[in-house]
Structure 1
Amino acid sequence: MKNTVVGVDNANSVKVAEKLNELLANYQIHYQNLRGLHWNIKGKNFFQLHVKFEEYYVDSQLKIDEIAERILTLAGVPLHTFTDYLEVSKIEVGKNISNDVEAVKLVVAGYNQLLELEREILNLSDDVDDEGTNSMMSDFISEQEKTLWMLNSWLG
């Protein structure tokens, strides 16, 4: 049994890196959705949502980098083309959305998809003793659960 430089078994490392690449692809689509919503939002909630979507896409950008670097840490290769992202992601691409409720529903759906994947990765990383990935997923999950609660409260 051979291990990566961080002590995770190579075979297990490949499994985790594959799931992290799936998460990376979904995050990239989620990020681009947030950018588009930030640019195109209209209506009475413009000022509130314009700022909020920027906050979310900046946070997503940081997470994208963390995920890619974790893949590299596990001796994987992060996906890095939009073709790959679109093929792998399960998040709906939001196009020409300017309505506040429709925009927030798209963000909620994106976070729900991310949480589903993060929970899968949390369980997998726990099973293979990959504490670094496990800790990252745990942090992402607790933060996004609160975000989802707030967005759903906004939706009423």
Structure 2
Amino acid sequence: MALNILGLDVQKTEDLVNDLNVLLANFQVYYQNLRGIHWNIKGKGFFELHTKFEELYNDSQIKIDEIAERVLTLGGEPLHTFEDYIANAKVPVGKHISKDEKAVALIVSSISELLKLERTLLDKAGDANDEGTNAMMSDLISEQEKTVWMMNAWLGK
């Protein structure tokens, strides 16, 4: 088994880099969704949701950078084109969304897709003994589960 400079199996690391790039692409789509609903939200909940969506997209921007830096740490190159993002997108693309419930439902469905990708990465990182990626996925999952709970509570679910 060949090891890289971090002491991780080369083949397993390449697989993790590919999956991290898929996660990165999906976070970029999620980020654009958040920007769009932030800009276009209308209705009585405008002030509350406009602020919340801005908080979420600012947070996503930080996470996008962290994921890209993890790809680089593992010796890969982060995806960085819209073409790559769309080709790897599992997160639904939100378009023409201005209604509060539809916007919040988009966030829930988007995070649900991100969680699937993150859980796969968590399993693979554990198998590869990659504690850095493992810790990142664990933190993302914990935080996003809470966000889903809060958004579903707002939706009355």
TM-score range, shorter chain: over 0.9
TM-score, reference length from structure 2: 0.97
Aligned residue for 1:66?
66
Tell me, in whole angstroms, the C-alpha distance in 2 between the residues paired with 1:54 and 1:5. 39
- CA distance in structure 1 between the aligned counterparts of 2:44 and 2:4, rounded to whole angstroms: 52
C-alpha distance in 2, partners of 1:148/1:45? Answer: 19
Alignment pair present for 1:109 and 2:109: yes
Residue 147 (structure 2) pairs with residue 147 (structure 1): yes
Q: CA RMSD in A?
A: 0.7
Q: CA deviation at 1:8?
A: 1.2
Letter in 1 for 2:91: I
The amino acid across from 1:24 in the alignment is L
Q: Hey, what does 2:92 align to over in structure 1?
A: 92
- In structure 2, what is the equivalent of residue 42 of structure 1? 42
Please state whether the residue corresponding to 1:6 is helix, strand or coil. Answer: coil
- Percent identical: 60
* Structure 1 alignment gaps of length 5 or more: none
Q: CA deviation at 1:6?
A: 1.9
Equivalent AA in structure 2 for residue 145 of structure 1 = E
Equivalence for 1:79: 79
Question: Which stretch of structure 1 is more off in the superposition, 3-12 or 72-81?
Answer: 3-12
Structure 1 residue 3, shift from structure 2 partner: 2.2
The alpha-carbon deviation at position 7 of structure 1 amounts to 1.6
In structure 1, the partner of 2:126 is 126
Task: Give CA deviations for 1:102-144 in whole Å, capped at 9, x if unaligned.
Answer: 0000010000000010000000000110000000000000000
Runs of 4+ in 1 over 6 A off after TM superposition: none
Aligned residue for 2:90, secondary structure, equals coil
Q: Which amino acid aligns with 1:134?
A: N
**Alignment match, 2:54:** 54
Unaligned runs of 5+ in 2: none
Q: Give the aligned partner of residue 6 of structure 1.
A: 6
Q: How many residues align?
A: 156
Deviations 1:47-91 (A, max 9, x none): 010000001001100000000000011111110000000010111
Partner Cα separation in structure 1 for residue 47 and residue 57 of structure 2: 16
